[in-house]
Amino acid sequence: MSYVSEVLSHVVAKNPGEAEFHQAAKEVLESLESVVDANPQYRKNAVLERLVEPDRQIMFRVPWIDDNGVAHVNRGFRVQFNNAIGPYKGGLRLHPSVTLGTIKFLGFEQIFKNSLTGLPIGGGKGGSDFDPKGKSDREVFEFCRSFMSELYKYVGADVDVPAGDIGTGAREIGFMYGTYKKLTGLYEGVLTGKGLTYGGSLARKEATGYGLVYLTQEMLEAHKDTLKGKTVAVSGAGNVAIYAAEKATALGAKVVTMSDSTGWIYDKDGVDLAAVKEIKEVKRGRLSDYKNYRPKSEYSTSGHVWQVKCDIALPCATQNELNIDDARALVKNKVVAVAEGANMPTTPDATEFLIKSGVLFAPGKAANAGGVATSALEMSQNSQRLSWTFEEVDAKLHGIMVNIYRNASAAAEKYGHKDNLVMGANIAGFVKVADAMLAQGIQ
């Protein structure tokens, strides 16, 4: 049995019922075969065994009272996976589907993504099975205060710096930051994605979506192509999707679809982003409302955006949302590139099919790293007690995304997987962390 297969069977045996974590571990470890074969010191020092075992996983009770005076209990999580190259860093997901396995898959992926940014940040992730949808501001505040009144013991500006993710936006970060400050008396950059009046960074809100498009553009240019004039299908209508659509449009592409958890829109003339922002960011409503702004658009609750003919597909909603049938439809419609805005949105068989069909494929670890990279820039600004301009942050983000693409491409080529960015991103992300672990001894 190979070293990788041995470690993977341990992961499955030791973490029963955590299917998403198994999937993420398999995807990363299988792409590292050639690297661990070429570097026996990784096996000798049990680097893979140590990588798949989080430094610690914290689970806690989150009690809160709703507007009718009824008490509820949710489960909170923070998985601190690896801090070989910097403080733990990764978002907090608030969604009823969240389990320990979800958080571990996300935390594991985060190690390599953060490494790829070239910035000094380790990997972690957290969240809760709380559903902020349909809750009043007071109920969300109650939950956030309760959540942070436990989490504050384990985080800190130089220890672990959580951020937003699905369900955790500026409102939730604000409530959690206020609670941390009150409990510790510290005014420090313990969270990123903060509001601009209390330590947030300009361009953080836009960063993941903009970064996704910068990387896609770089990938296309490396293959003598361009975004200009392309038709783009986007899924999701949240933070990543909205700003990916905004940047793609600014660079001359036409975005024709967006989706939320109840349905999707098709607007052949190009999605009206001001309308989407009003529906999703201001009203916190449903995309079904879009027809009221653009009567000629179509809204559907069956099927998926990937049925629409497009040149570029940007899955920006959630994990496993683009399956093999979707991949077949995209290839049939002659898609040129797929770049993942969400984490692990493409199923493994769909990814393989797209790559084999010659589609340019950018995995989330590389393609959506702009969010965490800009979070790290927020940490730098907080430490310096300075605020950079939007243009400064955006220019740094652009440079980081170009470097991520080039480093991942170079690593793929070095280990015999030319043009395979899935391999390249995993290898480049891994080598930096693994070498730091080796240098620090068996810990």
Enter the tokens of residue 65: 């009272």
Enter the tokens of residue 250: 């600014």
By beta-carbon proximity to ligand NDP, the closer residue of 126 and 167 is 167
CB of 185 to ligand NDP, least distance (A): 29
By beta-carbon proximity to ligand NDP, the closer residue of 4 and 114 is 114
By beta-carbon proximity to ligand NDP, the closer residue of 117 and 420 is 117
- Catalytic residue ranges: 125
By beta-carbon proximity to ligand NDP, the closer residue of 167 and 424 is 167
CB of 97 to ligand NDP, least distance (A): 8
- Please state, in angstroms and rounded to a whole number, the distance separating the CA atoms of residues 289 and 85: 45
The residue among 190, 157, 200, 164 whose CA lies nearest residue 388 is: 200
Name the strands in the sheet holding 312-315, side by side, starting at the edge strand that comes first in the sequence: 298-300, 263-266, 254-260, 231-235, 312-315, 337-339, 360-362
Chain centroid to CA 23: 16
Residues 6+ apart with CB under 8 A from 121: 85, 86, 87, 89, 114, 161, 372, 375, 376, 379
- Please state, in angstroms and rounded to a whole number, the distance separating the CA atoms of residues 235 and 245: 10
> Which single residue brings its beta carbon nearest to ligand NDP?
238
By beta-carbon proximity to ligand NDP, the closer residue of 161 and 240 is 240
By beta-carbon proximity to ligand NDP, the closer residue of 35 and 267 is 267
Site residues (vs ligand NDP, CB under 6 A): 164-167, 208, 236-241, 259-262, 316-318, 321, 341-343, 368, 371
The residue among 272, 220, 221, 226 whose CA lies nearest residue 246 is: 272
For Cα atoms 315, 232, 348, give the angle at the middle one, nearest 5 degrees. 30
By beta-carbon proximity to ligand NDP, the closer residue of 48 and 215 is 215
CB of 183 to ligand NDP, least distance (A): 26
| Contact (Cβ atoms closer than 8 angstroms) between residue 31 and residue 423 | yes
SS3 content of the chain, % helix, strand, coil (to 5): 50, 15, 35
The residue among 341, 133, 323, 371 whose CA lies nearest residue 235 is: 341
By beta-carbon proximity to ligand NDP, the closer residue of 8 and 338 is 338
3-state SS, residue 31? coil
Contacts 24+ apart (CB under 8 A), 8-11: 10/49, 10/52, 11/52
3-state SS, residue 161? strand
CB of 79 to ligand NDP, least distance (A): 14
Which single residue is written with the structure tokens 């309760």? 146
CB of 135 to ligand NDP, least distance (A): 13
Which single residue is written with the structure tokens 């493409």? 346
